[in-house]
Amino acid sequence: MTTRSDRELQDSLWDPGAPAPLGLRRIEETLAPLRFDASARPLTIEPRRRRPSWLSPARPAALGTTAAVLVLFSLAAFRWGWPEGRPWPMTVVTGDGSSRESRLEVGRELDLGPGETARLRVARIGTMEVGAGSTLTLRATAANRHRLVLTRGAVRTRVWAPPASVVIKTPAGEVIDLGCLFRLSVDADGRARVVVESGWVQLDNVAGETLVPAGASSEMARGVAPRVPTFEDAPGSFRTGVRALEGTLAAGLLPEGYLGFLTQAREKDVITLLGLARDAPPGIRRPLLDRAAALSPPPSGVSVDDIVEGDREALWRWHDALDLPPPKSWWLHWRDAFERPR
């Protein structure tokens, strides 16, 4: 049951103008000095001051990363960009040691004498050193497409760019740069020889193609498929045996002891053995693959028997499983973008 005093207390709590009980009036009088006076001190609510979003602790790092990416993209675009047909800067050094600045223009043949050498800027992606007695022609140049012809002589090319940016045509076929450092020579018979110092190079002609990794070499002649790569540090008897086998297979001859070089093969030479097995007849393919399997077993799912029977896909799976970088991972060879001491 609600009494009158209870009703008066409730009314006064909700209505400041209603009469209040004595006890409540005394409490109000005691707290009166603390009453809020809106006229003396207006109540205002200031908005919370927030730190600008660009000043947040994580933002400088993000901005720095973004800026770095933009700078890298800009540098790459500048480095790989090249106006179509623009000549390449060139320095020619004569036999007496004097030099002259020049340019190699599209369609112009650079014919160096016995005592002359030249150094070219390959657009913005690298350099090319041209040996004495060389004949070189720049056929086309634009962005990531540079095409040359080496009729005779030797060049040393250093390029850091996407695969096939530089292609050199020789009398024996094309030498396709896959982002690397390599030496190329063409003899009087038009035979081309490549030694790869970094990355990979592809040799290609009407008879076939081959991939040459860093540290290895290969060669090709007119109308003959490029030879399988052999590492420069392989035993001489192994390299000689490989080339002899290729020659006898091309001629259809199989002399006694033609596989004696297999005992000199090392684990890294498996790439050479697989290359030989690719085009060898089954009777020769078997010992080549058996030796390769003893040095570096094929990956799971790849059978020597299947390859002997002609399974090219299995052979390439074995090839791809070797301890070698992917042929087109040119960006891993970023050091090729810089000059190196000889």
- Write the DSSP string, 248-283: HHHHT---TTTTGGGGG--GGGHHHHHHHHHHS-HH
- Residue 307 makes CB contacts below 8 A (sequence gap 6+) with 277, 285, 289, 314, 315, 318
Interatomic CA distance for residues 304 and 293, integer angstroms = 8
Return the number of other C-beta atoms located less than 10 Å from residue 162's C-beta: 16
- Structure tokens, 200: 């990979």
What is the enclosing helix (H) or strand (E) of 66? Answer: helix 58-80
The backbone region for 218, taken as left when phi is positive above 0, alpha when psi lies in -120 to 50, beta otherwise, is: beta
**In the prediction, which pLDDT does 81 show?**
62
Interatomic CA distance for residues 201 and 214, integer angstroms = 8
**In the prediction, which pLDDT does 22 show?**
61
**In the prediction, which pLDDT does 73 show?**
46
- Residue 90 makes CB contacts below 8 A (sequence gap 6+) with 101, 102, 103, 104, 110, 118, 119, 120, 121
Q: What is the secondary structure of 75-110 as a DSSP string?
A: HHHHHH---TTPPEEEEEE-TTS-EEEEEE-TT-EE
Amino acid at 246: E
The residue whose two tokens read 């891993």 is 332
CA 294, 276, 317: angle at the middle one, nearest 5? 65
pLDDT in tens, the chain (342 residues): 544 555 555 555 556 666 666 666 666 676 676 666 666 666 565 666 665 555 556 666 555 565 554 544 445 555 556 899 999 999 999 988 899 999 999 999 999 999 999 999 999 999 999 999 999 999 999 988 999 999 999 999 999 899 999 999 999 999 999 988 999 999 999 999 999 999 999 999 999 999 999 999 999 999 999 999 999 999 999 999 999 999 888 777 765 678 999 999 999 999 999 999 998 888 899 999 999 999 999 999 999 999 999 999 999 999 999 998 887 666 666 666 666 555
The dotted CATH code for 71-233+325-342 is 2.60.120.1440
Interatomic CA distance for residues 281 and 278, integer angstroms = 9
Return the number of other C-beta atoms located less than 10 Å from residue 266's C-beta: 14
Interatomic CA distance for residues 89 and 105, integer angstroms = 9
- Structure tokens, 30: 């005691």
End-to-end CA separation in angstroms for the chain: 109
CATH 2.60.120.1440 domain locations along the chain: 71-233+325-342
Q: What is the secondary structure of 157-178 as a DSSP string?
A: EEE-SSTTSEEEEETTEEEEES
Helices and strands (DSSP H and E) totals, the chain: 8, 15
Interatomic CA distance for residues 69 and 118, integer angstroms = 36
pTM: 0.75
**In the prediction, which pLDDT does 279 show?**
87
> How distant, in Å, are the alpha carbons of 43, 158, 180, 229 from that of 212?
82, 16, 11, 5
Interatomic CA distance for residues 311 and 282, integer angstroms = 11
